[in-house]
A = this chain, B = another copy of it.
Amino acid sequence: MKNITIKDVANKAGVSVGSVSKVLNNKGYVSKETREKVEMAIEALNYQVNAAARSLKASRTKKVGMLVSYISNPYLMSIAKTIEDSLRELGCHLLLMSHNEDEATERELLQLIMEQRVEALVLIPTGGNREMVQTVINQKIPVLLVDKKVEGVSTDLIVDDNYYGSYESIKYLSSLGHSRIGVIYGVTKNSVGKERLDGALDAIKDLGCSLDESLIRPGEFDSEKAYKSATELLLLPNPPTAIYCCNNTMTTGLIKAINDRGIKIPDDISIITFGDASQWELLQPPLTLMTQPLKRIGVEAAILLKNRLIMNEEYLPKQLIIKPELQIRSSCASPKVEVRD
Q: Interface of A with B (CB < 8 Å)?
A: 1, 3, 46, 48-53, 55-56, 59, 61, 70-72, 74, 77-78, 80-81, 84, 88, 93-98, 105, 109, 111-112, 114-117, 135, 138-140, 252, 255-256, 259, 277-279, 281-284
Q: Known contacts being A50-B115, A50-B117, is A80 close to B71, with CB within 8 Å? A: yes
Q: How far is the CB of A330 from chain B (nearest CB, A)?
A: 11
Q: How far is the CB of A201 from chain B (nearest CB, A)?
A: 28
CA of A115 to CA of B94 in the docked complex: distance in angstroms? 15
CB atoms of B139 and A48 under 8 A apart: yes
Contacting residues, chain B, for A98 (C-beta < 8 A): 81, 84
CA of A194 to CA of B145 in the docked complex: distance in angstroms? 43
Cβ-defined partner of A282 (8 Å) among B50, B78, B255: B255
CA of A48 to CA of B117 in the docked complex: distance in angstroms? 9
Cβ-defined partner of A117 (8 Å) among B52, B77, B112, B279: B52
Q: Known contacts being A97-B93, A282-B259, is A135 close to B77, with CB within 8 Å? A: no
CB atoms of A81 and B74 under 8 A apart: no
CA of A93 to CA of B63 in the docked complex: distance in angstroms? 14
CB atoms of B81 and A51 under 8 A apart: no
Q: Known contacts being A51-B116, A55-B52, A115-B51, is A71 close to B81, with CB within 8 Å? A: yes
13 A-B contact pairs sorted by A residue (CB < 8 Å): A50-B117, A51-B52, A52-B61, A52-B116, A52-B117, A70-B81, A72-B77, A72-B78, A94-B97, A95-B96, A256-B282, A279-B282, A284-B284
